[in-house]
């Protein structure tokens, strides 16, 4: 009887299972790329969440690589999308900060030189 239980356990261990967050990682990774133009904030948040969920999936995948192989590919694709989304969002966020800094500097310089002294209200 114990041999039968061991065979059943081996069959259950080798069954193909899906990782719990694989689809979520893929969706969040894609959304982080799509939303990277929203001042970089939304894309950063979604991308970081996807990276954290992928890390959890990767530890679960390492316990049984054969059982989770199919869904791990989705998680890997989502991880790549999240990395791209976080990178684009960070670049866009830095771009916005630089542009605001330039405008603030120009406005401060113009105000200190008296450019707004003759403005009539």
CA 74 to centroid of chain Cα atoms: 14
pLDDT digits (tens, 9 = 90+) for 57-107: 999 999 989 889 889 999 999 999 999 999 999 999 999 999 999 999 999
User: Is residue 120 in a domain?
Assistant: no
User: Is residue 10 in a domain?
Assistant: no
Place of tokens 């001042």: 39
pLDDT digits (tens, 9 = 90+) for 32-45: 999 999 888 999 99
For residue 51, the enclosing domain spans 20-112
Cβ-contact 27, 49 below 8 angstroms = no
Question: What's the whole-number mean pLDDT along residues 42-51?
Answer: 97
Number of domains within the chain: 1
User: Is residue 48 in a domain?
Assistant: yes
User: Is residue 15 in a domain?
Assistant: no
User: Is residue 12 in a domain?
Assistant: no
What string of DSSP letters covers 95-110?
HHHHHHHHHHHHHHHH
User: Is residue 87 in a domain?
Assistant: yes
pLDDT > 90? residue 13: no
Burial 50-62 (b: 16+ CB within 10 A, else e): bbebbeebbebbe
User: Is residue 105 in a domain?
Assistant: yes
**pTM of this structure:** 0.79
What pLDDT is attached to residue 8?
A: 47
């Amino acid at each position: 009887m114990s041999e039968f239980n061991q065979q059943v356990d081996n069959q259950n261990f080798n069954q193909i299972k899906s990782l719990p967050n694989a689809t979520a990682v893929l969706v969040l990774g894609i959304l982080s790329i799509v939303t990277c133009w929203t001042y970089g904030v939304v894309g950063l948040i979604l991308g970081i969440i996807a990276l954290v969920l992928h890390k959890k999936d990767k530890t679960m995948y390492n316990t049984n690589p054969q059982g989770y192989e199919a869904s791990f590919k989705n998680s890997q694709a989502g991880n790549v999308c999240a990395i791209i989304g976080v990178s684009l969002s960070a670049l866009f966020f830095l771009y916005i900060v630089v542009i605001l800094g330039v405008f603030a500097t120009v406005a401060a310089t113009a105000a200190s030189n008296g450019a707004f002294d003759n403005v009539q209200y």
